[in-house]
Amino acid sequence: MVSRTIPVDPFDLIIIGGTGDLARRKILPALFRRFVAGQMGKGSQVIGAARTEMDTPAYRQMVSDAIAEFGGPEKKDKANLKKFLATVCYITLDARGTAGWEELGETVHSENIRAFYFSVGPGLFGDLAKRLHKYGMSDDRCRIVVEKPFGHDLASARELNAVLAKHFDESQIYRIDHYLGKETVQNLMAVRFGNMLFEPLWNSQYVDHIQITVSESVGVGGRGGYYDKSGAMRDMMQNHLMQLFCLIAMEPPAKFDPDSVRDEKLKVIRALDPLAPENIVRGQYEATETKPSYRKQVGNRDSTTESFVALKANISNWRWAGTPFYLRTGKRLRERASEIAVVFKDAPHSIFGEDAGRHRNILTIKLQPNEGIVLGVTIKEPGPGGMRLIDVPLDMTFAEALGPEQAGFPDAYERLIMDVIRGNQTLFMRGDEVEAAWAWTDPIIAAFGEQDPPLPYATGSSGPDEALALIHRDGRAWREIKA
Ligand code: NAP
């Protein structure tokens, strides 16, 4: 099978915060990969902008270094790298001042699609939106891409939405969540809505429960200051896990278009029951012999911010009433592994008798480190010896069947940036979705103050024991955290 590269119109991608970590680690390497794939047509350009005084040759060197450090195998393609760098320039620009704005206005190609990637802190979004408008760059060929965090509560998210809405139409705003750009997340929708097999079973009659795990093995690293003001609930649950949750639980949209999909996701959030305190467990990682504890790492010995959260959510609608969703995320856990597991109910009666043991179908959508969709099915163990049943994985990503071109599939940032250029908002969050997610999360976070502080857990574990109890008390168990 040969992967297809869909051409896009020439575009300008302006990275405001072009010298920052995100630009260097993700955005620039992603653009280079799309360039190598032939998707950055003649007349396209990349403009880096930030306050640091630098000329274009120095910025090109920085871009080249970033690609060397963070790029994939294509970084060895020196001929393409040279051509790519020729499309890159730099403008010294202050989001809060006047420096650089006129030059930016003169540098962008007015006939191109112009995507302004706000790769800066959210405190600058309003300043940027205002100046893009003032300097005549907010017309309908212009799009803005905004990174997380989109607010830290409902009030701040509303404020951000209002600030952006002053100068941009919702159709121009791309709130990015890179989890939605993963190949497997889209494949999940293809599996659900492209096959007759799954959708009839996708409800509380057949699904016992659903688990979503986003586990990281690293701690807060150098982000301690930021993280301690945020915590796992704000940093991961409110956005990434909620987005995955919506996709797995939503009704089939009438069409695969942005608003049809986003309308259905919004309905899921609105149907969520408020979370009872007994349905949430928070934790903080402890020190090891070689690694500091959470509190030490964030420099706050009294911190009550959680580096782990597990919760049980219920959706009150016809499809899901009675099927719990267990969500957990945390740092310094056993492994870096993210997955969604749809655990189907037991067969109503085992014709093979009690000796055959308990067998359940589990559909696992693996998101990282490797992507894939696996259906656990029960079969007879081959060979003599009677009717012994075993569970085997049916790999539904068919990596081998699809061939080595798989490796060339775009990563999440590549896909999402190209979607911005094409004007496809399906995989981006709409303003009302973000607000609804905060509206559900806010009371949960507000109640933390009245609850016990987060429970300690060992580095390399699956979180506090109480998180295991959260699911055990329902007669269920978390899946092992395994890459
Ligand atoms: P960073 O390394 O601190 O970079 C910030 C960038 O903004 C720098 O290029 C900085 O350059 C520029 N900047 C700051 N103030 C400016 C101003 N007044 N005018 C123009 N440019 C200004 O931060 P980052 O890690 O790249 O993160 C950027 C955004 O993405 C943040 O909102 C972050 O939460 C979000 N995010 C980051 C990651 C990640 O992996 N890094 C992941 C998800 C989301 P100068 O100092 O030269 O101006």
Instruction: Give the model confidence (pLDDT) of 256-311 as tens digits.
Output: 999 999 999 999 999 999 999 999 999 999 999 999 999 999 999 999 999 999 99
Quick: pLDDT tens for 412-439.
Answer: 999 999 999 999 999 999 999 999 999 9
Query: To test ligand 1's pocket by mutation, which of 120, 124, 147, 148 has the most ligand atoms within 8 angstroms of CB?
Result: 120
Task: Kindly report which listed range (169-178, 231-240, 243-252, 368-377) carries the lowest average pLDDT score.
Answer: 368-377
Q: 110 falls in which pLDDT band (50, 70, 90)? A: confident
Q: What is the pLDDT of residue 354?
A: 79
> What separation in Å is there between the alpha carbon of 140 and the centre of ligand 1?
26
Q: Are 146 and 44 in contact (CB under 8 A)?
A: no
Q: Are 433 and 266 in contact (CB under 8 A)?
A: yes
- Mean residue pLDDT of the chain comes to 93
For residues 266 and 261, what is the distance between their CA atoms, to the nearest angstrom?
9
Q: 239 in ligand 1 pocket by Cβ < 6 Å?
A: no
For residues 171 and 442, what is the distance between their CA atoms, to the nearest angstrom?
27
Q: 21 in ligand 1 pocket by Cβ < 6 Å?
A: yes
Catalytic residues: 240
Q: For residue 473, give every residue at least 6 positions away whose Cβ sits within 8 Å of its Cβ, in sequence order, or none.
A: none
DSSP letters, 63-110, are HHHHHHHH--GGGG-HHHHHHHHTTEEEEE--TTSSTTHHHHHHHS-T
> What separation in Å is there between the alpha carbon of 223 and the centre of ligand 1?
13
pLDDT beyond 70 at 399: no
Average pLDDT on 397-404 reads: 60
Closest residue CA from atom 3 of ligand 1 = 20
Task: Kindly report which listed range (155-164, 308-317, 323-332, 367-376) carries the lowest average pLDDT score.
Answer: 367-376
Closest residue CA from atom 48 of ligand 1 = 51
Domains of the chain, first to last: 11-147 (3.40.50.720), 180-472 (3.30.360.10)
Q: What is the pLDDT of residue 95?
A: 97
End-to-end Cα separation, the chain, in angstroms: 27
> What separation in Å is there between the alpha carbon of 21 and the centre of ligand 1?
7
Average pLDDT on 389-399 reads: 83
Average pLDDT on 123-133 reads: 95
Q: 93 in ligand 1 pocket by Cβ < 6 Å?
A: yes
- pTM, whole model, 2 decimals? 0.93
pLDDT beyond 50 at 1: no
Beta strands in 353-418, from DSSP E residues, in sequence order: 362-368, 372-380, 389-395
pLDDT higher for 385 or 182? Answer: 182
